[in-house]
């Protein structure tokens, strides 16, 4: 059973972390906002069931992150017999300013690239480059070996290089060098 304090602390966590969690869900699902929100609500409902236990371990964020990653992979396993959905127009891109065309171009490329990856490889990239986890930490979250993370990661990057290289034809290095300073 949950008390009022559990509910309050859960709502505070959701308020403070919803953007991060939804972005993570979007990256893990390969840019389908409806799927990402559905995934996030499912995970948060499950997290609330054991909220007291989660909070006892300290920061709930790593636990919720692990639940999101696991749920995204599980969901893909359930749905993989469905035909692949073409990428639709991006709500967030449409709502962003038109003057950010370079960033939008990058994001469009990112979504296309992520959507082309299997969820396991996508999860590795998201954990390594969005969550900034080490290979060991990524392995712990995914419940696999560090070797497996390395293999999945290099396969994903190779596939990504093919997609990005085809789409961008050399512009990547220039863009990265011009914007990379702000993120390093």
Interface with another protein by CB under 8 A: which residues?
A: 11, 14, 18-19, 21-23, 26-27, 33, 36-37, 40-42, 44-45, 48-49, 92, 103, 106-107, 109-110, 125-126, 129-130, 157, 160-161, 164, 172-173, 175-177, 179-180, 182-184
First and final CA of the chain: distance in angstroms? 45
CA angle 17, 23, 24 (to 5 degrees): 85
Min. distance of Cβ 83 from another protein in angstroms? 25
Q: Which CB sits closer to another protein, 19 or 83?
A: 19
Min. distance of Cβ 163 from another protein in angstroms? 10
Q: Which CB sits closer to another protein, 48 or 63?
A: 48
DSSP state of 180: G
For every residue of 54-67, DSSP letters joined together read HHHTS-SHHHHHHH
Min. distance of Cβ 130 from another protein in angstroms? 4
Min. distance of Cβ 113 from another protein in angstroms? 8
Closest CA to 40 of 8, 7, 69: 69
Q: Which CB sits closer to another protein, 70 or 112?
A: 112
Min. distance of Cβ 165 from another protein in angstroms? 9
3-state SS assignment for residue 78: helix
For every residue of 122-158, DSSP letters joined together read HHHHIIIIIS---HHHHHHHHTS-HHHHHHHHHHHHH
Q: Which CB sits closer to another protein, 73 or 108?
A: 108
Residue 179 is inside which H or E element, if any? helix 171-179
Euclidean distance between CA atoms 161 and 170, whole angstroms: 11
């Amino acid at each position: 059973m949950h008390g009022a304090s559990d509910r309050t602390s859960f709502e505070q966590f959701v308020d403070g972390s919803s953007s991060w969690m939804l972005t993570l869900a979007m990256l893990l699902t390969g840019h389908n906002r409806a799927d990402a929100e559905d995934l996030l609500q499912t995970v948060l409902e499950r997290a609330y069931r054991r909220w007291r236990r989660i909070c006892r371990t300290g920061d709930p964020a790593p636990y919720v992150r692990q639940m999101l990653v696991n749920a995204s992979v599980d969901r893909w396993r359930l749905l993989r017999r469905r035909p692949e959905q073409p990428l639709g127009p991006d709500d967030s891109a449409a709502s962003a300013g038109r003057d950010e065309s370079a960033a939008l171009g990058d994001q469009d490329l990112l979504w296309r690239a992520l959507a082309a990856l299997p969820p396991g490889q996508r999860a590795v990239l998201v954990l390594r480059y969005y969550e900034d986890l080490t290979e060991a930490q990524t392995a712990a979250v995914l419940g696999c070996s560090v070797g497996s993370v390395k293999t999945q990661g290099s396969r994903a990057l190779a596939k990504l290089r093919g997609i990005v290289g085809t789409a961008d034809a050399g512009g990547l290095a220039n863009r990265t060098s011009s914007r990379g300073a702000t993120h390093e």
